């Protein structure tokens, strides 16, 4: 688990910058936020994140918090969840909410999009079985649409309901009485959300700090 003293040195900052895409200045700011949340401890626990007022009204608050403790999101081939995280893990998870840089190749943009969608998929694949249910998919679509700001919650919900039914007709199709629907896989999830712009819609706030604004 990533551990840092009260103030990471320049070499540690540069290593994290290469891994996450954050600038040295952004990492310094996020390190201060981390220390505030952890009350100057070297690790964060779930209860520390539960104190964030900006997350109180978020409908997927519990999933967001749990994502910070999901080893699949640490870019280390891990599985399962942990009880506490260091600054490196915190920063790695925060990097999924970064807006894409302006000057990147299409290949880099697609790689970043895929990583964001994998993070989003993991957030709803809570049992780590490699699939999410139709209802979980509907919830993902509703969140993405409502966060765009162009649609109200009820309108987004209606579109998400219709999207869920469409996916059901495509992915499930006619089923025999003894058949069991196993859910949506990540590859199918990618195809379903093809064309949906998520790069600037995945954002959260920490202690009055908007991750998307910070990362521009």
Query: Where in the chain are the domains?
Result: 10-96, 106-202
Residues near 176 by beta carbon (within 8 Å), at least 6 away in sequence:
none
Predicted confidence at residue 149, as pLDDT, reads 53
CATH fold of the domain at 10-96:
Recoverin; domain 1 (1.10.238)
Q: Residue 176 pLDDT > 50, yes or no?
A: no
What's the Cα-to-Cα distance from 102 to each of 23, 98, 106, rounded to whole Å?
14, 12, 11
Instruction: Report d(CA 156, CA 186) in Å as an integer.
Output: 23
More confident residue, 7 or 146: 146
Burial class (CB in 10 A: 0-12, 13-18, 19+), 138: buried
Tokens in use for 39? 């009350």
Q: Residue 157 pLDDT > 60, yes or no?
A: yes
Contact call for residues 64 and 126 (beta carbons, < 8 A): no
Helix axes 87-94 and 24-38, enclosed angle (nearest 10)? 120
**Segment holding 44, helix H or strand E:** strand 44-45
Q: What is the pLDDT of residues 182-211, one digit of tens each?
A: 678 888 788 777 777 766 666 555 444 444
Pairing of strands 131-132, 184-185: antiparallel
| Three-class secondary structure assignment of 167-180 | HHHHHHCCCCCCCC
More confident residue, 59 or 67: 67
Contact call for residues 44 and 68 (beta carbons, < 8 A): yes
Pairing of strands 131-132, 84-85: unpaired
Instruction: Report d(CA 88, CA 86) in Å as an integer.
Output: 6
Share of the chain above pLDDT 70, in %: 67
Q: What is the pLDDT of residues 70-103, one digit of tens each?
A: 999 998 877 889 999 999 999 999 998 887 787 8
Fold agreement between 10-96 and 106-202: yes
More confident residue, 48 or 136: 48
Q: Helix (H, G, I), strand (E, B), or coil: what is residue 198? A: coil
What's the Cα-to-Cα distance from 173 to each of 112, 168, 186, 194, 214, rounded to whole Å?
32, 7, 18, 20, 44
When pLDDT is cut at 50, 70 and 90, the band that residue 166 belongs to is low
Predicted confidence at residue 156, as pLDDT, reads 59
**Superfamily of domain 106-202 in the CATH hierarchy:** EF-hand (1.10.238.10)
> What is the value of pTM for the model shown?
0.74
- Lowest average pLDDT, out of 55-59, 119-123, 146-150, goes to 146-150
The dihedrals phi and psi of 141, each to the nearest 5 degrees, come to -60, -45
Choose among 142, 164, 9, 2: nearest CA to 86: 2
Instruction: Report d(CA 134, CA 112) in Å as an integer.
Output: 25
């Amino acid at each position: 688990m990533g551990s840092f003293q009260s103030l990471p040195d320049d070499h540690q900052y540069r290593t994290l910058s290469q891994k996450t895409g954050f600038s040295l200045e952004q990492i310094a700011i996020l390190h201060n936020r981390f220390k505030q949340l952890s009350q100057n401890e070297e690790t964060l626990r779930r209860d520390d994140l539960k104190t964030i007022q900006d997350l109180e009204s978020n409908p997927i608050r519990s999933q967001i918090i749990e994502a910070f403790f999901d080893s699949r999101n640490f870019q280390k081939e891990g599985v399962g969840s942990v009880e506490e995280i260091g600054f490196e893990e915190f920063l790695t998870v925060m990097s999924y909410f970064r807006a894409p840089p302006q000057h990147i190749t299409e290949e880099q943009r697609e790689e970043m999009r895929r990583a964001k969608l994998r993070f989003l998929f993991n957030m709803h694949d809570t049992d780590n079985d490699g699939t999410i249910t139709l209802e979980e998919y509907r919830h993902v679509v509703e969140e993405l649409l409502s966060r765009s700001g162009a649609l109200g919650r009820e309108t987004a919900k209606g579109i998400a309901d219709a999207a869920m039914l469409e996916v059901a007709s495509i992915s499930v199709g006619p089923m025999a009485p003894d058949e069991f629907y196993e859910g949506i896989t990540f590859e199918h999830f990618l195809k379903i959300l093809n064309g949906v712009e998520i790069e600037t819609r995945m954002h959260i706030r920490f202690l009055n700090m908007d991750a998307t604004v910070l990362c521009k």
